[in-house]
Chains A and B, each alone.
Chain A
Amino acid sequence: MTATKHIEMHAVRKAFRFFTLEDLTLELGPGQIMGFVGPNGAGKSTSIRLMTGLLTPDAGEVRVLGHSMPREQAVAKRDIGFVSDDMRLFAHATLGWHMQFVASIYPGWDAKYAQTLVKRFNLRPEQNVSGLSSGEHAKAVLLLALARRPRLLILDEPTSGLDPVARHEVLSEFMDVLRDEDRSILFSSHNTVDVERISDRISFIDRGRLIDSSDKEDFLERWRRIQLQLPAGTTVPDLPHVVSRVVDGQFVTLTTNRFSQDLLAFLGSNVRDVHRMSLEEIFVANVMHHRETRGQ
């Protein structure tokens, strides 16, 4: 039997006056962490609002944990922990009050785990939310989502307000969540270092379109930068899957999204160096390539 996908978006369209999310198709299975990466204004938050039922698609279908969104969002959200970087708690209530409030709504609230997180994140339940620093506030919101033990965590730029140490703590918690194979995380960010660290699937979005989606390892294996030194008077012919070419005299740098030994063999003795690319380099090259292809 096929397990229900935790997120299924098929040919989703959502138009606003100055922005359109177009033909978004996306899937996230149980036990996966998907990094949802895009520049500012790419459509990450719009996609997430569609997943959480706050927006209604103009076309296409959104299903989360098997529920049709936005129609069945109240049921779906019983098993969703949603956190965004601009989500705020009630300023004039304490963190402890928020913990009690959320615990009273979610039967799956794990009080022991919540206490563990309070200690690990160095938070004080008796403190008013208005007195929390931005990093503490971000951790408090995450605590409230994590201790519900949701099957699906949807996180919209959750680490953007955190210092490097806090980011490390929070990302470690995300990894812990995945110990249960039925849980999954969709993690939106433009911080590719965080995404590379925890994700096993990655989707790139730019200007309202999904431009690539694959396993992280697949991205890291497929993308290479190849440096060539060409004999005088020669050029490299047009090659398939070469997304960029930078020429500096007799030195040429090729970026490919389908690296293979066949390509290396074809380039032969001209190859001086082959670099693996970081996720950030892949992301930038991917975005620039798609913008050029679409003439934007």
Chain B
Amino acid sequence: MNMLARKLIAKEFYLNRWLIAGSTLAGLAGLLVAAGGEMRFNIGMVTWLTTIVAFGVVLAMLGIATERKERALQFVLSLPLSPGDYVRIKLLGLLLCFFVPWAILSTGAVVLIGVMPGLPDGLLPFAVLLCGFMLANFSLVLCGALHTASEGLMTLVIIVTNMNVTLFIFLIGGIESLNFHLHAPAPVWNNAFWTVLAAEIATLAVTLSLPYFVAARRRDFN
């Protein structure tokens, strides 16, 4: 990675620092509430989940769509880089910005399930898949934002990715071989788990590589 790429990635962290810190704190607060007992667990985990999903959407909106809309993109493109470089650096920069709170909050959730008395460890595969889903879902928003300058299309991407959360939980809930072990005293890492995880990794691979092959190769950049 060259010096300019490092500076631009550092710029993403600087400009989004309050969002990153605020989201991490809000997610941790959710986990803290969840640790308060069985009744509070659901409220805390909904806060945790909503925080991570909303953080991803806002990060992509501020980092790409708003930068373009408010014409700061022109300033960035006046720097010694090509539009292709911009796409690659932006993708990596925002992914890292998301990754830090996501990693902290995902680890927190997994640890919480592991140590909290009364919670079956059978929940762990589900938690891991949910965390993987949120990373893949963010990469989908990021990919959409890098490919469209249209506010309408961007809104559609956000609506779809928000609906995905409910859809994912609903679908996972419908997979009997995963659902069956939710209340087991030990986690069960069966084929269904690995299949869903592979689908998440494939989604990540596609959505993260698409900008390299499409957005970064556009002939015209405005």
Contacts and interface: CB of A to CB of B under 8 A. Distances in A.
Interface of A: 49, 52-56, 70, 73-75, 77-78, 80-84, 86-93, 97, 101, 104-105, 141, 145
Contacts of B195: none
- 9 shortest A-B CB distances, which residue pairs? A56-B219, A88-B71, A82-B78, A87-B74, A77-B80, A78-B80, A55-B220, A54-B221, A74-B82
Interface stretch (B7-15, B24-32, B164-172): B7-15
A165 to B, nearest CB: 25
A55 B4 CA distance: 22
Contact of A73 (B70, B75, B82): B82
Given A55-B220, A105-B7, A75 B80 contact: yes
A87 B79 CA distance: 12
B77 interface: yes
Contacts of B81: 74, 77
A74 B85 contact: yes
Contacts of A87: 71, 74-75, 78
Contacts, number: 65
A97 B219 contact: no
Given A77-B78, A77-B81, A105-B4, A91 B70 contact: yes
Nearest to B79: A105
A91 B72 CA distance: 8
B7 A101 contact: yes
B83 interface: yes
B22 to A, nearest CB: 14
Interface residues of B, number: 23
Contact of A88 (B72, B77, B82, B83): B72
A84 B76 CA distance: 12
Interface of B: 3-4, 7, 11, 14-15, 70-72, 74-75, 77-83, 85, 219-222
Contacts of A53: 82-83
B74 A84 contact: yes
Contact of A54 (B4, B79, B220): B220
A77 B83 CA distance: 12
Given A77-B81, A82-B78, A90-B75, 19 more contacts: A52-B78, A54-B83, A56-B219, A74-B82, A74-B85, A81-B78, A86-B74, A87-B71, A87-B74, A87-B78, A88-B74, A88-B75, A89-B75, A91-B70, A104-B7, A105-B4, A105-B7, A105-B80, A141-B75
Contacts of B75: 87-90, 141
A145 B220 CA distance: 23
Contacts of A52: 77-78
Interface centre among A78, A87, A141 (most CB of B within 10 A): A87
Contacts of B222: 49, 54-55
A56 B83 CA distance: 11
Contacts of B7: 101, 104-105
A72 to B, nearest CB: 9
A158 to B, nearest CB: 12
A73 B7 CA distance: 19
Contacts of B77: 52, 54
Given A93-B15, A105-B4, A77 B74 contact: no
A241 to B, nearest CB: 40
Given A55-B220, A74-B80, A88-B72, A97 B85 contact: no
